[in-house]
A and B are shown apart, each in its own frame.
Chain A
Amino acid sequence: AAGVIQSPRHLIKEKRETATLKCYPIPRHDTVYWYQQGPGQDPQFLISFYEKMQSDKGSIPDRFSAQQFSDYHSELNMSSLELGDSALYFCASSLRGRTSGELFFGEGSRLTVL
């Protein structure tokens, strides 16, 4: 079965550069979430989209922005990168209204800022 696809899997950038991460949710899932997980940390919620509209907003820095496109894929744009942005970025998708509340996560994009 198709899962959540994230790209790139690994990314190395330098301070003050920009980066874009992409996420392709499971087909027919209507909600996309972005989480950031630093080394030894729990996943921190950044932002989510439902039917291409921003749904919830968490601890996403102002330097980051995200959107969901008409084909339901989502992109997380990160500018003026800082060393502290080095982390594993997970995208997850779900079908709103499902009582299980299960989120299906992609394998993550590992960003390293030098």
Chain B
Amino acid sequence: RKEVEQDPGPFNVPEGATVAFNCTYSNSASQSFFWYRQDCRKEPKLLMSVYSSGNEDGRFTAQLNRASQYISLLIRDSKLSDSATYLCVVKFAGNMLTFGGGTRLMVKP
């Protein structure tokens, strides 16, 4: 079983839709959580950190549920430019990040 698991998708949604991704992690000692975005054949880029109290950045909302060991990402009012792979990332012990397999989002006109 992978340490960080995501539904690979693809999630095909129309413009303006709301879409949510979940990610589960296996190590209860996980320290920090992030969502990264990766466009096709490009490098991953930080989308947002995930705080225990939940956090929002414009159309994006991230939440953490430590008891159930999952994090979520909600995207409201989807844009065509949101089409990408969204990587759930967890920091365990040490300073390295462990990536989930990614969830692919396709926003269609």
Which residues of A are interface residues toward B (Cβ below 8 A)? 31, 33, 35, 41-45, 48, 50, 55-56, 58, 88, 90, 94, 96, 100-103, 105-108
Contacts and interface: CB of A to CB of B under 8 A. Distances in A.
Given A33-B96, A42-B99, A42-B101, A100 B49 contact: yes
Contacts of A41: 101
B43 A48 contact: no
Contacts, number: 53
Interface of B: 32, 34, 41-46, 49, 87, 91, 94-102
Given A101-B34, A101-B49, A45 B98 contact: yes
Given A55-B95, A58-B96, A96-B95, A102 B42 contact: no
Contacts of A50: 95
Contact of A90 (B44, B91, B94): B44
Given A42-B102, A45-B96, A101 B45 contact: no
B21 to A, nearest CB: 14
22 contacts: A31-B95, A33-B97, A42-B99, A42-B100, A45-B97, A50-B95, A56-B95, A56-B96, A58-B96, A90-B44, A94-B95, A96-B95, A100-B46, A101-B97, A102-B34, A102-B46, A102-B49, A103-B44, A105-B43, A105-B44, A106-B43, A107-B42
Contacts of B41: 88
B96 A48 contact: yes
A43 to B, nearest CB: 5
Contacts of A96: 95
Given A33-B96, A56-B94, A101 B44 contact: no
A101 B96 CA distance: 9
A33 B91 CA distance: 13
B46 A103 contact: yes
A42 B44 CA distance: 10
B3 to A, nearest CB: 11
Top 3 A-B residue pairs of the complex, sorted by shortest distance between their CB atoms = A105-B43, A42-B99, A56-B94
